[in-house]
A and B are shown apart, each in its own frame.
Chain A
Amino acid sequence: MIPRTAKSGVTLAAIAAVCATLVAATHRLTTDRIAANEQAWLEQSLLPALGDIDYDGSITESRLELEPPHGLPGNDPAIVYRAYSGSTPVAALFAVTAPGGYAGPIRILVGVDAGGAVTGVRILEHRETPGLGDGIESTRSAWVHQFDGRSLGNPPAGAWQLRVDGGEFDQLTGASVTPRAVIKAIRDTLLYFDAHQAEILDMPATAEPE
């Protein structure tokens, strides 16, 4: 007579083995597809911030991860992608964290061309109020488009502020904290790019963590 506990243990082990096999098989079956999907999604989500810059190859291959303190906005690691035409760098994309959003940090993507002008800004992640602060999303309003083509001289760094604060940029109806945080992060990114342009564009890519 087998003791009850031993029988329980064997049953549990057998079912655990079957379940693990099932999960492992599904994982094997899907892993390539998932990796391809994620790569495509990343590449696709980076494109809008590049505006109409022409570049060769894949931007995601030129990934550069900067650990804080890096001088860019936010205390999270900043990620930089470089776009090249031939071997000439034509633009850089900065994924940085804007502190000071209304409901926590806002993750934004700022594209800057080799001349220091903004090619595009997109919001990657935020928790702002639906209907008010979420107007920073390009799908909800045209607000982020006012930065296209702007640079540190246009307007000067001091005027990279909301109109109500004496700057040159529009705010969002009913929300001023959110746009203020985003504008400050864009300005700081531009200042950083201005100071470190050469090293950012020439640094070798950080290996993808496996």
Chain B
Amino acid sequence: MAGHFIERMQTGLWRENPGLVQLLGLCPLLAVTSSFVNGLGLGIATLLVLTCSNVLVSATRRWILAEIRVPIYVLIIASLVTCTELIFKAWFPALDRSLGIFIPLIVTNCAIVARAELFASRNGIVASLFDGLGMGAGFALLLMVIGFFRELIGKGSVFAEFDKLVGGDPLAGMVLVDGGWLLAVLPPGAFFSLALAVALKNYLDGRRKPARQT
């Protein structure tokens, strides 16, 4: 089981990363990654929803006829997202304000319904749980990396506004430079950053392959 877990994690984090390889869920990915904390917040929320939906879809897969599977996925995912939104509003109000509409919009993240359809509806509960964790972590990690990068270039700070997550007094994070290259936090910066991340992944994969063959 441990080996299986490691394999699912590798698949989600790298080999079939929902953002980098499947290019799913780009709307939230591009929109909220203007800072590390936002990326982390939405990443955790997506991870939570994806894992729970995978488990529920897998657990109910015996009773679900093929014709009604999509409405059932929609029901399950929408309920989970509503619960997540309420939980965020109650315990992380600042983060909820900053992510705004993108928490309810997790419903439309195709990475989640794709995993329900492609994986959870065909595999056991434990495997689906691992798959949800792996894919969710892969997505969350990408959100964090891009958020970190854009915040660094665009605002010259690192880990700013962590109070949104932990509460309490405003935290400035580490300010390296005052101000930054504004473009990075504007929408084009999101596209550039994602393109760089995809390119970097392909470059690393390309380097590894020939090495294995020889």
Residues of chain A whose beta carbon lies under 8 Å from any beta carbon of chain B: 4, 7-8, 11-12, 15-16, 19-20, 22-23, 26-27, 29-30, 33-34, 37-38, 41, 130-131
Contact = CB atoms under 8 A, between A and B. Distances in A.
B32 to A, nearest CB: 15
Contacts of B182: 130-131
Interface stretch (B79-87, B119-127, B128-136): B79-87
Contact of B82 (A26, A29, A38, A131): A26
A11 B86 CA distance: 27
Given A15-B60, A22-B79, A30 B87 contact: yes
A15 B67 contact: no
Given A12-B75, A30-B89, 16 more contacts: A7-B65, A11-B68, A12-B72, A15-B60, A15-B76, A20-B79, A22-B79, A22-B83, A26-B82, A26-B83, A33-B90, A34-B86, A38-B93, A41-B93, A41-B97, A130-B182
Interface of B: 60, 63-65, 67-68, 71-72, 75-76, 78-80, 82-83, 86-87, 89-91, 93, 97, 182, 185-186
User: Interface on chain B toward A: helix, strand, loop, or mixed SS?
Assistant: helix
B82 to A, nearest CB: 5
Contacts of A33: 90-91
A21 to B, nearest CB: 9
Contacts, number: 58
Contact of A12 (B71, B89, B185, B186): B71
A71 to B, nearest CB: 31
26 contacts: A4-B67, A8-B65, A11-B63, A11-B64, A11-B65, A11-B68, A12-B71, A12-B72, A15-B60, A15-B75, A15-B76, A16-B75, A19-B76, A19-B78, A20-B79, A23-B82, A26-B82, A29-B86, A29-B90, A30-B90, A33-B90, A33-B91, A34-B89, A130-B182, A130-B185, A130-B186
